[in-house]
Amino acid sequence: MSSAWQTLFGHPVRAFGVVSLLLLISLAIAPAKNHFSEWRHYQNRYLALVRGRGDAVTLQRHFHEGIQQIWLPELAVVDRCTTCHVGLKEASLADVSTQPFRRHPVIPHTSDQFGCVTCHRGQGPATTVEEAHRSTLAWEQPLLPARYLQSSCGQCHRAALTGTPQLNLGRNLLGRYGCVHCHTIKLPDGGVIKPTDDPPSLSHIADKSTREWIYAWLKDPQAYAVTATMPNFKLSDRDARDISAFLIANSTPVPGDTVPATKDQKAVDPTAGASLYGESFCASCHAVQNAAGNVVGGDVGPELTRIGSKVKPEWLRAWLHNPRVYDPETAMPHYRFTDQQVALLMAFLGNKTDSDLLANVHLDAPTPEQIARGKLLVTEYGCASCHEISGLKKPDNFAPELTRIGSKPITQISFLPGMPHTVPEYISSKIRQPRSFGAALKMPQYSFAPAQVDALTTALLSLTDRAQNLPMALTVPSNPPSNYQPAGKAGQLMADLACFSCHAINGRGGDMAPDLTWEGSSVQRPWLQEFLKNPNTLRPALIRRMPKFNLSDGEITDLTDYIMTVYQTPAFDRDSLSSSGYAPAQVEQGRQLFYSKYACQSCHIVDTKVDKGYIGPTLTQVGSRLNAAWIYHWLKDPQTMRPGTIEPNRNMNDEDARALTAFLMTLKSSSKLEMKK
């Protein structure tokens, strides 16, 4: 027994010694691991860094040894990032550029409120660099690259934030490029993201365009217009032939959407068309690519660079007369052009052609088989998801839902070879090259600029599980969309003139022109009537202005009545201050204040001989344009009267505001005429 023992373990005393030693070593493993841990190494380095600085004592006092943790049960956050990122809150470390000791850049939130992973993702409870930042195995989301960081703001903030232009752009693009026609994106408040593009109905396309143009467009929309939002479906010649055949065959005519040319139409001066195009401010909404290749103009309506190759003249003539015949919902105003004006614009737009576009398109008359195959393709590619096509139903959930795409589990994604296995990489690749993920995929090729891809990726990354699961109390909701509709005759007129394409009223409408919600409290009736008859510019520095609509007197009266009656602010009575009869001393005091104390002439002109500032509207006739009460309240607090206006609030006392109002009300349009005499 003892000999067997001895052969196995040697002398008992020595064996005891060896075993004790082994035990001691094994006991030391845990403290040694702790001692040599990564985070301790960083904490020691931090202390060494701090030691030489002038404020070492303060920094050392702020420093806490050991593992640090932020625990926010409501947000499901357990973050130990501050164990190594020791100096995050130290403002005096602004000059330190080595990680992990940098100070956190100034942002509106603190890590005590939101932790770190809420914005940066990564594995919060980890205490090694690798696991916290990069792990995709134990924790599916590695650290979010800095370029997509704004997506994290979008988890709680549903409305546009001034601090997140990239996120705002991305959300905008989701609607503008019609992503949400095919992909449903549900919002945590129960709504869905709505498309903001307005894809034309194809039910009457044969009235508008030729089959050849449709073919060329289907093959490459961007060859027709570089700004086209329609993506390229990479169709074969045969597919494009059959789809164009189906669309033409399926089209039904709309009564009155074409006007044939009359015989007595005289040749018109082509330059007159160009100036009418300019005077009508078509460029506020429509862009044209100039010779240098730059796209100049607005993006509310389609680009017109090659419009002459697209539309049939008889359709264009009817459209210019009244666009609402062909498309009752169009954003284009009904301009009330005269026949002569329509002829001028026709000549100008008809010249905007591109002979290369349709040069190689030769289509034979379609066979019934081609038309049937075209219908099949239209259904297969989900064209009806975006476009109204008579006889076809809009497919439901045509493409995968993207409600939680920002938290898509890595295991559910098939990555391309050589691609980093992260969700941001997957999303941006999919947007850039959708068909590279499989030839059978239907998602078309978009022509986004790199900044747009980043913006879209950012917007999609904000659609996380966290965003869906967040308690409503912790979110900042967006304003519900307004479906304000003005009533009566004026309402119909405003729809006909498409006022909402440029102006916003009660939360609905565009931002190209001033908000008219309180216009009735702001302006004087005679001025408004005159303006609607002949809109002149109020701001010399602006290139855009309201076009002239050739309104009839009756229409002007209807509009004026409605605006003056309905669009009034509850904040004050429009007639509480008189529009004339101010004491000369008060007027003179106002003039002094205007030029000296408040130096309004830096932005406004009251005397065209002396004043030059043209940031704000010209005030030479403001006494005939604005109400005295409006001017007074505007001076007291411009931002309340029109949120977002750049005129600074001067914290003006009542006396000054009254004197300035008195002075401004003397600036009548007639007084200017007298001066001229």
Partner 1 sequence: MKRQLRTLFVVSLVFLSAGCARKPGPVSALKPTAFGAALVESSGGKQIGATGMVLAQPLVVQVNNEQGTAVTGALVEFSGPAGVSFDPPSGLTDSSGQLSTNIDLGAMAGRYQLTAHTSTKAQKSVELKIEEIALGYQQQVGYRLDDKYCTRCHNPESTPERVSNYDNLEVKPHSFTEGDTLNKMSGAELTAIISHGGPALNKSALMPPYGYTLSKTEIEALISYIRLISDPPYHASGMVYAQK
Which is closer to partner 1, CB of 576 or CB of 602? Answer: 602
- CA angle centred on 97, ends 93 and 98, rounded to 5°: 105
462 CB-near residues (< 8 Å, 6+ apart):
151, 152, 153, 154, 155, 167, 406
Among 159, 474, 585, 599, binds partner 1 (CB under 8 A): 599
For 101-107, the CB contacts below 8 A with 24+ separation are 101/45, 101/46, 101/49
Task: Point out which span in 26-34, 125-133, 430-438, 600-608 binds partner 1 (CB under 8 A).
Answer: 600-608
| Burial class of residue 677, CB neighbours in 10 A (0-12, 13-18, 19+) | exposed
State which of residues 596, 608, 653, 670 lies at the interface with partner 1 (CB under 8 A). Answer: 596
**Which of 454, 515, 519, 558 is close enough to bind partner 1 by CB under 8 A?**
454
**Number of residues engaging partner 1 in binding (CB under 8 A):** 44
| 612 in contact with partner 1 (CB under 8 A) | yes
Residue 8 or 543: the one with the smaller Cβ distance to partner 1 is 543
Q: Which of 591, 597, 606, 610 is nearest to 662 (CA)?
A: 591
State in angstroms the smallest separation of the CB of 94 from partner 1: 8
Is 450 a residue that touches partner 1 (CB under 8 A)?
Answer: yes
Asked if 541 is part of the footprint of partner 1 (rule: CB under 8 A), the reply reads yes
Mark the segment that binds partner 1 (CB under 8 A) among 162-170, 178-186, 190-198, 435-443: 162-170
Say whether residue 52 binds partner 1 (CB under 8 A). Answer: yes
Instruction: Return all residues near 39 (Cβ < 8 A) that are at least 6 apart.
Output: 67, 83, 84, 127, 128
Say whether residue 643 binds partner 1 (CB under 8 A). Answer: no
Maximum separation of any 2 CA atoms in the chain, in Å: 135
CB of 56: closest distance to partner 1 in angstroms? 10
Q: How far apart are the C-alpha atoms of 603 and 247, rounded to whole Å?
A: 55
Q: In angstroms, how far is the first alpha carbon of the chain from the final one?
A: 135
648 interacts with partner 1 by CB under 8 A: yes
Is residue 614 close enough to count as binding partner 1 by CB under 8 A?
A: yes
The pairing of strands 77-79 and 287-289 is unpaired
Q: Which of 24, 264, 651, 677 binds partner 1 (CB under 8 A)?
A: 651
If DSSP codes are grouped into helix, strand and coil, which group holds residue 297? strand
Residue span binding partner 1 (CB under 8 A) among the ranges 12-20, 50-58, 357-365, 627-635:
50-58
Among 12, 17, 163, 391, binds partner 1 (CB under 8 A): 163
| Contact indicator for 444, 234 with CB cutoff of 8 Å | yes
Stretch binding partner 1 (CB under 8 A), from 159-167, 235-243, 414-422, 490-498? 159-167
**Distance of alpha carbon 144 from alpha carbon 636, whole angstroms:** 46
CB of 278 to partner 1, least distance (A): 14
Residue with smaller CB distance to partner 1, 488 or 648: 648
Q: Angle CA(400)–CA(405)–CA(406) in degrees, nearest 5?
A: 170
Is 57 an interacting residue with respect to partner 1 (CB under 8 A)?
no
The least CB distance from residue 71 to partner 1, in Å, is 25
Looking at residues 90 to 119 of the shown chain, list those that interact with partner 1 (rule: CB under 8 A): 92, 94-95, 97, 102, 105-108
Only one residue has tokens 């005091």, namely 589
* Residue 649 makes contact with partner 1 by CB under 8 A: yes
- H helices present in 497-602, as ranges: 519-522, 525-533, 553-566, 584-592
CA distance 243 to 204: 15
CA distance 12 to 4: 12
Which of 13, 24, 440, 646 is the binder for partner 1 (CB under 8 A)?
646
Strand, coil or helix: 604: coil
Taking the complex as a whole, how short is the minimal distance between the CB of residue 434 and partner 1, in angstroms? Answer: 22
55 sits near partner 1 (criterion: CB under 8 A): yes
Among 345, 405, 563, 603, binds partner 1 (CB under 8 A): 603
Q: Measure the CA–CA gap between 535 and 530, rounded to whole angstroms.
A: 8
Pairing of strands 295-297, 287-289: antiparallel
650 binds partner 1, rule: CB under 8 A:
yes
> What minimum distance in Å lies between the beta carbon of 673 and partner 1?
25
Contact between 149 and partner 1 per CB under 8 A? yes
Contact between 420 and partner 1 per CB under 8 A:
no
Q: Which residue's CB is nearer to partner 1, number 7 or number 97?
A: 97
530 vs 637, which CB is nearer to partner 1? 637
What is the Cα–Cα distance from 189 to 261, expressed in whole angstroms? 54
Shortest gap between Cβ of 62 and partner 1 (angstroms)? 16
- Cα–Cα distance, 87 to 270 (Å, whole number): 69
DSSP code of residue 498: T
521 Cβ contact partners less than 8 Å away, ≥ 6 residues apart: 567, 568, 569, 571, 572, 574, 627, 629, 630
Site string for partner 1, 223-262 (x = CB under 8 A): ----------------------------------------
Please name every residue paired with 532 in a beta bridge, in sequence order, or none if there are none: none
Smallest separation (angstroms) from partner 1 to the CB of 92: 8
* Smallest distance from partner 1 to CB 608, Å: 12
The SS3 of residue 9 is: helix
Q: What share of the chain is helix, strand, coil (3-state, %, to 5)?
A: 50, 5, 50
Q: Residue 450 Cβ, how far from partner 1 at the closest point, in Å?
A: 7
| Pick from 394, 384, 377, 389: nearest CA to 202 | 389
- For residue 391 the two structure tokens come to 């006889």
Output the smallest distance, CB 651 to partner 1, in A: 5
Q: Which of 1, 13, 24, 146 binds partner 1 (CB under 8 A)?
A: 146
In the bound state with partner 1, the residue whose beta carbon lies nearer, of 240 and 546, is 546
Rounded to the nearest whole angstrom, what is the least distance from the CB of residue 624 to partner 1 in the complex? 24
- Are 629 and 575 in contact, with CB atoms under 8 Å apart? yes
- In the complex, minimum distance from the CB of residue 362 to partner 1, in angstroms, rounded to a whole number: 38
Using CB under 8 A, list all residues that contact partner 1: 49, 52-55, 92, 94-95, 97, 102, 105-108, 145-147, 149, 162-163, 165-166, 450-451, 454, 541, 543, 596-599, 601-603, 612-615, 639, 646, 648-651
